[in-house]
């Protein structure tokens, strides 16, 4: 079996919900031993988050171990139950951190300080430690203890202002995008950079990744436009300043689409040549020479009419056929896919084998996101099912921390390992 690039690396994952655990999940996929520190006293809300696995009779399974949400982002980790609200729990945390290369958390500074997990304290325990802190708004500043998740970051960072249609309230992007992509990706990059520094110097360091600052760069040109032109860019639906048409167009219903029959195709024409190719591919080549649409400027000036026209063309077409026809003609286009498409119907995703299937002892067979990058010599993989709550408490306490059975029994009796 090919050795994965992060094998031998040990991570103390003291995070919860999305941004922190997803970063830890990436490290686990590429070989790190990731120890998820949890407590029933402050349970990760994702363990209670839908979708839950289902029983054969169609009812939902119950318990802390059957959330597809949690399980997808904690594959192959070890779960240690530890009560950090008590002094003995913090002492055990220090003994674990002594044996770790990386410490990871996304709790607020207030909680970090309450649990005595600041970098100043941890670096005394392990000077080679790389400690990554990813609170919502940073370790310092007037909003440092503000609470929030991806659904709060989306409006706070300006993304919601840019999402939606003109003259309507902002509606965001429909998912906690910062949790899944931006913040975990930046955190992993920072941790790998710190590992490289430690390899050269032997020194650990502190990483501060305010999720607010990590996400604002996704605004693209909005901030430079404000700086240079004094304008305040806002939501503009699906339209683009650099393409016309640029939008989603209704196609024929698909009775096999679960949940909704609606099907849509997105089309973007950046040049007059692409527009001409699109009209020809869709069987309406004469529209390319219509004065209302012949040039980019004309199409932008008549965008409402343009979108209505294309909508009439696509209304009777199967979305997949429309996208394939346009792509063959050299026009950027694609189906607006749903979860069913991604998992079961997209031939490209199936051919690449992105989704990996694992058997979980309580949730059953689950599909999990595979590694985001494919390394030719040291590929990552889904290392196994996510842990049951506290499943590896004994193993971590004995093998890694070095406790004997009497010590573990005492900690259980004292409510430390819960």
- Which position among 101, 179, 290, 410 bears the catalytic label? 179
DSSP code, position 240: B
What are the angstrom distances between the C-alpha of 193 and each of 26, 37, 197, 246?
A: 15, 24, 6, 38
- Domains contained in the chain, CATH given: 10-217+353-413 (3.40.50.10540), 246-348 (3.30.1540.10)
The token duo for 135 is 């609170």
User: Is 179 a known active-site residue?
Assistant: yes
Neighbours of 284 (CB within 10 A): 15
Preceding amide of 51 cis, omega within 30: yes
* Ramachandran angles phi, psi of 58, nearest 5°: 90, -5
pTM of the model: 0.94
The tens place of each residue's pLDDT in the chain, 418 residues long, gives 678 999 999 999 999 999 999 999 999 999 999 999 999 989 999 999 999 999 999 999 999 999 999 999 999 999 999 999 999 999 999 999 999 999 999 999 999 999 999 999 999 999 999 999 999 999 999 999 998 888 899 999 999 999 999 989 998 888 888 999 899 999 999 999 999 999 999 999 999 999 999 999 889 899 999 999 999 999 999 999 999 999 999 999 999 999 999 999 999 999 999 999 999 999 999 999 999 999 999 999 999 999 999 999 999 999 999 999 999 999 999 999 999 999 999 999 999 999 999 999 999 999 999 999 999 999 999 999 999 999 999 999 999 999 999 999 999 999 999 9
Q: In DSSP terms, which residues pair with 15 in a beta bridge? A: none
């Amino acid at each position: 079996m090919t050795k994965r690039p992060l094998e031998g690396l040990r991570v103390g994952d003291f995070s919860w919900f999305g941004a922190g655990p997803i970063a830890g999940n990436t490290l686990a996929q590429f070989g790190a031993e990731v120890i998820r520190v949890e407590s029933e006293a402050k349970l990760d809300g994702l363990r209670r988050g839908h979708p839950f696995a289902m029983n054969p009779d169609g009812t939902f399974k119950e318990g802390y171990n059957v959330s597809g949400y949690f399980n997808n982002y904690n594959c192959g980790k070890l779960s240690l139950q530890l009560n950090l609200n008590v002094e003995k729990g913090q002492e055990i945390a220090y003994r674990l951190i002594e044996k770790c290369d990386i410490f990871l958390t996304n709790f607020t500074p207030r909680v970090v300080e309450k649990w005595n997990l600041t970098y100043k304290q941890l670096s005394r325990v392990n000077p080679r430690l790389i400690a990554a802190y990813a609170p919502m708004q940073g370790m310092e500043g007037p909003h440092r203890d503000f609470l929030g998740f991806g659904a709060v970051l989306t409006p706070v960072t300006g993304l919601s202002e840019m999402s939606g249609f003109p003259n309507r309230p902002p509606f965001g992007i429909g998912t906690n995008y910062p949790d899944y992509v931006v913040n975990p990706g930046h955190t992993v990059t920072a941790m790998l950079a710190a590992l490289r520094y430690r390899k050269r110097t032997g020194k650990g360091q502190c990483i501060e990744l305010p999720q607010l600052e990590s996400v604002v760069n996704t605004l693209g040109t909005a901030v430079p436009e404000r700086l240079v032109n004094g304008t305040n860019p806002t939501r503009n639906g699906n339209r683009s300043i650099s393409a016309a048409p640029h939008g989603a167009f209704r196609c024929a219903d698909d009775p096999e689409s679960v949940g909704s029959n609606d099907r849509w195709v997105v089309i973007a024409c950046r040049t007059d040549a692409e527009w001409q190719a699109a009209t020809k591919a869709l069987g309406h080549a004469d529209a390319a020479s219509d004065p209302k649409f012949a040039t980019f400027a004309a199409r932008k000036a008549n965008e409402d009419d343009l979108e209505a026209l294309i909508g009439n063309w696509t209304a009777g077409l199967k979305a997949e056929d429309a996208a394939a026809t346009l792509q063959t003609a050299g026009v950027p286009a694609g189906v607006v896919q749903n979860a069913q498409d991604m998992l079961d119907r997209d031939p490209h995703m199936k051919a690449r084998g992105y989704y990996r299937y694992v058997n979980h002892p309580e949730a059953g067979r689950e599909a999990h996101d595979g590694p985001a990058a494919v390394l030719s010599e040291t590929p990552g993989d889904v290392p196994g099912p996510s842990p049951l709550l506290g499943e590896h408490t004994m193993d971590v306490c004995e093998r890694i921390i070095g406790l004997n059975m009497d010590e573990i029994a005492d900690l259980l009796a004292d409510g430390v390992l819960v």
